[in-house]
Chain A
Amino acid sequence: MSGDTAFLDGGGEMAAAIRGYEWGATPLGPIGAWPVALKTAVGMMVNSRFPKCIVWGPELITIHNDAFRSILGDKPPALGRPFNEVWSEVWDEIAPIAAKALAGEATFIENFPLTINRYGHPEEAWFTFCYSPIRDESGRVLGMIDTVMETTGQMQAERNSRLLNTELAHRMKNTMAMIAAIASQTFRSAETLQQAQSVLSERIATLGEAHSLLTQSSWSSAPIQAVVEGALNPHRSGLGTLRVAGPPLQLPADQAMTLALAVNELATNAVKYGSLSVEAGEVAIGWTTGRPNSDDTFRFHWVESGGPRVTKPDRQGFGSRLVERVMAQTFHGEVELDYRPEGLRYVLATTMAHIAPRE
């Protein structure tokens, strides 16, 4: 008996399964009586580590190796069953390729997309495969062998990188449009060209800093502490004291960039006219949070004290509109900007539900 199936030696679990299968009940007949061409082909196949499958005779009886099981997934056992039944969901697409092989012509196809069902649901998968005819000594085609590599992972990775590329191109455009808008408004409200230049480069540097933080998280969010510190850093002049305190919180991209720009404006103003222009001045910067996605309040404050007496500026520039209108809109909340004589007080309040990516 084992002499009959010695051609399966070394063929792993599927060789054992083939050995034990009741072939007498199939069109192939008892295994000992198989044609030499079939035995040789099956022997080579079960000893290959490439996923392979032999399809034999007019009934397309399937015999596969161990490696082919990953292609089949949780499909019912394919051994001994017609190939067109095993792959019934894609048979319309692969039948012509199989017919070609059985007519004596091999086909090689790369990254062929098929919607298969092997885990109880339709699934998009890609395969690089070759269907080759198997001939007997006289040259008659008796079956074919399918050698296949699944390329689904690779194709999905390529698709993801194309998507990511499109997304980055989109963000780049947005950033350009935003910088153009900031530049336009900076020049418009500046008093001198020199002032416009220095204010604009500070604003762009602030955006750049926020960008770096966002890049670390693939642009999804940035920690508020780092956003605030990043925008404050260039203004740590030495005069006055900055205190920053608040619980950890992730800010979505547009809110992170807007908060960075607003903090830069507040700090610029404080260094020039406010608490950071004198030794005894102090700025308390902080925020309070609540449960995520709830009606709990999120509040950000910037409170100055110990600086020169404050008066309300008579002209509203781009900086104050950034701090008021842009912040209120981006956080879907309310802003209070109070020019108290003892020090500027700025508060942004919104709900935690609004600390979320823009839909």
Chain B
Amino acid sequence: MSGLKPRVLIVEDEPIIAMMLEEHLLDAGCEVAGTAQNLEKGLVLAGATEMDLAILDMILGSQPSFPVADILAARGIPFMFASGFGSNSLPEEHRGQLVLHKPFHYPDLVRSLRLALGSRFTLEASV
């Protein structure tokens, strides 16, 4: 697998934060598999995109992104939530998921990426 870049899907309703995530992911040696700004697009991309990981903003507008998580879980694709709230706002079935706490910084992201991707990829990023 070495040499291959992990492909990451971003589901984030705030475009300024999505842009930062894209930059951070590129810096960390990832590829951006796609960016969805709302639940509707998130559902489509979650079902159809080739990816190794997804980062989901927990709330999109006023809707939780859990339906997107359900699709990813069914496809066996790892994902993490990004949220300003704690992990206790997660429903039962996603309780164990990784949560990236907002506002987050580049090193937090890289740490979480390493945790989520495990040994499948080696990130070249320096923290």
Contact = CB atoms under 8 A, between A and B. Distances in A.
A340 to B, nearest CB: 26
A191 interface: no
B88 interface: no
B84 A170 contact: yes
A174 interface: yes
Nearest to B13: A358
Contacts of B15: 325-326, 329-330
B102 interface: yes
A182 interface: yes
Q: What is the interface of chain A mostly: helix, strand, loop, or mixed? A: helix
Interface in A339-359: 358-359
Given A174-B14, A177-B14, A178-B14, A185 B63 contact: no
Interface stretch (B16-24, B42-50, B64-72, B116-124): B16-24
A320 B16 CA distance: 12
B13 to A, nearest CB: 7
A93 to B, nearest CB: 31
A258 B26 CA distance: 25
Given A170-B84, A184-B106, A188-B23, A178 B61 contact: no
Contacts of B16: 178, 181-182, 185, 322, 326
Contacts of B13: 358
B62 A173 contact: no
A162 interface: no
A242 B62 CA distance: 38
B37 interface: yes
The number of chain B residues touching the other chain, given as a range, is 20 to 34
Contact of A184 (B20, B37, B84): B20
Contacts of B104: 177, 180
A180 B62 contact: no
B24 to A, nearest CB: 8
Interface in A145-186: 170, 173-174, 176-182, 184-185
B84 A326 contact: no
A177 B19 contact: no
Given A170-B84, A358-B61, A359-B63, A180 B105 contact: yes
Given A326-B15, A358-B13, A181 B62 contact: no
A181 B17 CA distance: 5
B61 A173 contact: no
Interface in A216-234: none
| Listed residue (A174, A184, A321) with the most chain B CB atoms within 10 angstroms of its CB | A184
B102 A321 contact: no
Contact of B23 (A170, A176, A185, A358): A185
Interface in A76-129: none
A174 to B, nearest CB: 7
Contacts of B106: 184
B62 A177 contact: no
B19 A326 contact: yes
A254 B85 CA distance: 20
Interface in B26-84: 37, 61-63, 84
B19 A321 contact: yes
B61 A177 contact: no
Contacts of B23: 184-185, 188
Nearest to B105: A180
A290 B49 CA distance: 38
Interface of A: 170, 173-174, 176-182, 184-185, 188, 254, 318, 321-322, 325-326, 329-330, 358-359
Please name the 7 residue pairs, one residue from A and one from B, whose CB atoms are nearest each other, closest first.
A173-B84, A180-B103, A181-B20, A177-B103, A177-B102, A358-B61, A329-B15
9 contacts: A173-B85, A176-B103, A177-B84, A182-B16, A184-B24, A184-B106, A325-B19, A358-B13, A358-B62
Given A181-B20, A326-B16, 4 more contacts: A176-B103, A182-B16, A184-B24, A184-B106
